[in-house]
Amino acid sequence: PETTLEFDLPEPADVKLKVYDISGRLVAVLADRTRYEAGRHRVVFRSEGLGSGIYFYRLEAGKFASTRRMVLLK
């Protein structure tokens, strides 16, 4: 399974987008200080090798940071 994570940037920024399991272990790096221009962006998260469960993704862009929950069902 895969899912698309979408985010908007009001201005260009270096972006970090990482996925963690419920215990806080890093399971995927989708962007690591990758430069994105202003606008809407989509990043595909492919979950091969991961089991069903609750995961968190953390987006950091400039001074903004947000962590959200997602449920992976297989």
- Tens-digit pLDDT profile for residues 32-54: 999 999 999 999 999 999 999 99
- Does 1 score more than 90 pLDDT? no
Average pLDDT over residues 15-31: 97
Whole-model pTM?
A: 0.91
pLDDT of residue 23: 97
Neighbours of 45 (CB within 10 A): 19
The pLDDT value recorded for residue 74 is 82
Share of the chain above pLDDT 90, in %: 95
How does 14-24 read in b/e, with b if 16+ C-beta sit within 10 Å?
ebbbbbebeee
